[in-house]
Amino acid sequence: MIGPADLRILASGLDHPEGVAVGPDGVLWAGGEAGQIYRIESRGGEHEQVASTGGTVLGLCLDGDGLVYACDAGLAAVMRFDPATGAIDTFCDAAAGTPLICPNWVAFAPDGALLVSDSGTEDEAASDGRMLRVPPGGGEAEVFDLGPLHFPNGFAIDDDGLVFMVESFARPRLSVIGARGLEVVAELPGTVPDGVALTADGRIVVSSYHPFRIDIATRDGRVEPVWHDAVGIYTPMPTNVAFFGDGLASMAIASFGGYTISAIDPPFAGAPLRYP
């Protein structure tokens, strides 16, 4: 398992970053608790705040034109930011005629659709979370028919369109959404899973808000630790991760409980993302 000596800081002084994403040019992006959108040079570590939504930015992703799609829990909407012009607009704030509650993560599917997790109410007893699909190019969001979801959170999509998603509360678990609906891959008791990323060899990385841990899971449900900050000093509340760098061999870690984007070089590479 990777230890503290293997960790390096990419950017510090950020406002409780929860999401981190890599763009088509290899630049990293992150959000802040007060709506900040940060741009981070993955090689040199220089970073700057380039915009603010005025809300609370959680997960984000980019398209082929470099537009940033940011889940804003404060505004209850997915916002779209154009770095070239500085313009910010609302991309999605409702699905099936119902306003979003807590948009949390976004990623592009193989067909160019934008998938969104609307986590719902942050309550152990709540099951009002939804998974949404915005058609390619925009339009009215559709809702996946998956039954009750307890705070659906981070997810990642493979080349076959399978969606690997975690639920954070009530019954923390990693599931896959495919042709047969939702199927559980692994139960994750004693954790609050938050982020998901895929490796080049098809495994699933799960970052947990608590207990400050990053695991790797196989598709048949075997789970092993990759990183564990037992004291919460190095990566407090590691919410999301993103692969970056040459060969996607490095992993950026967003620490919501602190002020940094850190990085490790795990013994596996990441799967490429899509930038339609």
In the chain, where are the structural domains located? 4-264
Share of the chain above pLDDT 90, in %: 94
pLDDT digits (tens, 9 = 90+) for 29-49: 999 999 999 999 977 778 999
Burial of 241 (0-12, 13-18, 19+ CB in 10 A): buried
Whether the pLDDT of residue 226 is over 80: the answer is yes
4-264 in CATH: which number?
2.120.10.30
251-268: average pLDDT:
97
Q: Are 174 and 186 in contact (CB under 8 A)?
A: yes
pLDDT number for residue 219: 97
Strand partners, 132: 116, 143
Whether the pLDDT of residue 7 is over 90: the answer is yes
Can you give the C-alpha Rg of the chain in angstroms?
Answer: 17
The helix, strand and coil proportions of the chain, stated in percent and rounded to the nearest 5, come to 0, 50, 50
155-164: average pLDDT:
98
Spatial separation of the C-alpha atoms in residues 145 and 184, rounded to whole Å:
16
User: 149-177: buried (b, 16+ CB within 10 Å) or exposed (e) per residue?
Assistant: bbbbbbbbbbeeebbbbbbbbeebbbbbb
* Per-residue tokens: 199: 């490796």
Whether the pLDDT of residue 135 is over 80: the answer is yes
- Across the chain, mean pLDDT equals 96
> Please, where are the H alpha helices in 3-48?
none
